[in-house]
Amino acid sequence: TPMQNHLEEFYSLC
């Protein structure tokens, strides 16, 4: 089953 990712895996904190 596909795993839910989190936004920090795609966008960096600034």
Partner 1 sequence: MLEARLVQGSMLRKVVDAVKDLVSDANIDVSSSGFSLQAMDTSHVSLIAMHLRADAFEHFRCDRPMSMGMSLANLAKVLKCAGSDDIVTLKANDDGDTVTFMFESPKEDRVSDFELKLMDIDSEHLGIPDTDYCATVTMPAGEYARICKDLSSIGDTVVISATKDGVKFTTSGDVGTANVTVRQNTTADKKEDQTIIDLKEPVALTFALRYLTSFAKATPLATHVTLSMTRELPVMVEYAIQDMGHLRFYLAPKIED
Nearest-approach distance from CB 12 to partner 1, in angstroms: 5
Distance in angstroms (rounded) separating the CA atoms of residues 8 and 10 = 5
Binding positions for partner 1, 1-14, rule CB under 8 A = 2-14
Question: How many positions of this chain bind partner 1 (CB under 8 A)?
Answer: 13
Distance in angstroms (rounded) separating the CA atoms of residues 14 and 4 = 23
Give phi and psi for 3, each to the nearest 5: -95, 140
Nearest-approach distance from CB 8 to partner 1, in angstroms: 6
Q: Give the binding site for partner 1 (CB under 8 A).
A: 2-14
